[in-house]
Amino acid sequence: MRKSPQPAAWAAIACFVATIFAGPSAAEVKLAFIDPLSGGAASAGINAQKHFTYEIDKINAAGGLNGEKLSIVFYDNKVDPQESLIALKKALDDGARYIFQGNGSAVALAISDAVLKYNERNPGKEVLYFNYAAVDPALTNAKCNFWHFRFDSDADMKMTALVNFIATQPQVKKVYLINQDYSFGKAVASAARRMLADKRPDVEIVGDELHPLQKVQDFSPYVAKIKASGADTVITGNWSNDMYLLFKAGKDAGLKVTWYTYYADALGAPTAIGRDGNGVVKVVTSFHGNALPEPDPDVAAFRKRFTDKLDEFNYYRLNTAFMMLTAAAAKAKSNDPVKIARALEGMKLTTSVGDVEMRADNHQLLQPLYVATFSDNVKFDVEKTGLGFKTDVKVTAKDTAMPTTCQMQRPNG
């Protein structure tokens, strides 16, 4: 005679099946990453993706957020605002409550606006937007909103750091500005003009050039102009090919200037600039490999896990962002985005680079900034080039604060 299974066994099977279906969604904090994972800018997105994998695994290993595990879905937006809004819609449908995006201010403005509208229409289901790289000052000024938090220093803060440094460099006499012809490039040019006039009125601005974004193949005519102007210093917000090709053309023409850049430390840039940049390329950044005498434990752990030549810990500020998220969740004793947003406002932390603060009035992170020079005389190199960045000056977090025009509208209650 065949025995039928015991009721206890049935119960166990039922339980098991229930766990499979209900398990993952039970207690989870859902994050969404919306950045380029294909197309020309994909390398930046893929590099950031590794940072997220690292940070989330770290937090989950330590028990998650108030006991709930973090999970993330990566959405490809091809750095296109329209694609980003579609990705955002998908992320919201999938139940994401925390949106992360960085590449491109146009994308950031679109997401910030969409998140604001969504939250107004869906009370109780609010989402937060963590911006880790888009630096258009408008995001924390005229276009600020309660749901957006920026973890990179904006273009004006970075320019202040550069200009304050230039103020201590008497050899800088003639400055040439060359930037990409779009909102960010124009913001850099106007900030440089304004601040140089203020801090170094004796400096002559001998050129203010805007060129089409990522369209120029041969920069030698621009370099000929820089050369004819007699400039000793070039300030540029150019990124990617626009910076590499400009620099290369300068080298070919024997242009002897110091380059003050925003993105000479971005992924792939040290490799593209190479040895010719030794001592003449400067960058303003929130972190670099030699910022600390000994490597930060997170940087070391990241390098151990991701070992490709280009796997640099480029987004130290993401580490800060996740530290803040964890601390805010602990302070709020909740994973509810609205409560976390309130906890984040005015939050102060100490990271390995120093004190940082999330401003309550405009949701801009104040963090130390470094002006650093690309040099072969460093302890740690980048991208295995034999060169790395060397701090010229460190600006403390509170000295990077700028006045804001933000009129923050906070939710009631």
**Binding positions for other proteins, rule: CB under 8 A:** 40, 42-43, 46, 181, 209-212, 215-218, 220-222, 224-225, 227-228, 241, 244-245, 248, 252-254, 267-268, 271-272, 274-275, 310, 385
Q: How far is the C-alpha of 209 from the C-alpha of 226, rounded, in Å?
A: 9
Q: Would you say 129 and 102 are in contact if contact means Cβ atoms under 8 Å apart?
A: no
Least CB distance to other proteins at residue 225 (A): 6
Which residues, listed in sequence order, are joined to residue 171 by a DSSP beta bridge? none
- Contacts for 125 with CB less than 8 Å, ≥ 6 apart: 97
Cβ nearer to other proteins, comparing 298 with 312? 312
DSSP labels, 226-248: HHHHT-SEEEE---THHHHHHHH
Cβ nearer to other proteins, comparing 267 with 280? 267
Q: How far is the C-alpha of 101 from the C-alpha of 77, rounded, in Å?
A: 10
Q: How far is the C-alpha of 355 from the C-alpha of 157, rounded, in Å?
A: 16
Cβ nearer to other proteins, comparing 153 with 238? 238
Cβ nearer to other proteins, comparing 225 with 339? 225
Least CB distance to other proteins at residue 254 (A): 5
Structure tokens at 176: 């040439």
Q: How far is the C-alpha of 45 from the C-alpha of 102, rounded, in Å?
A: 9
Cβ nearer to other proteins, comparing 47 with 367? 47
Least CB distance to other proteins at residue 295 (A): 23
Cβ nearer to other proteins, comparing 99 with 272? 272
Among 22, 127, 27, which Cα is nearest to 69's? 27
Least CB distance to other proteins at residue 155 (A): 20
Strand order in the sheet with 348-351: 348-351, 354-358, 365-366
Least CB distance to other proteins at residue 206 (A): 12
Least CB distance to other proteins at residue 186 (A): 11
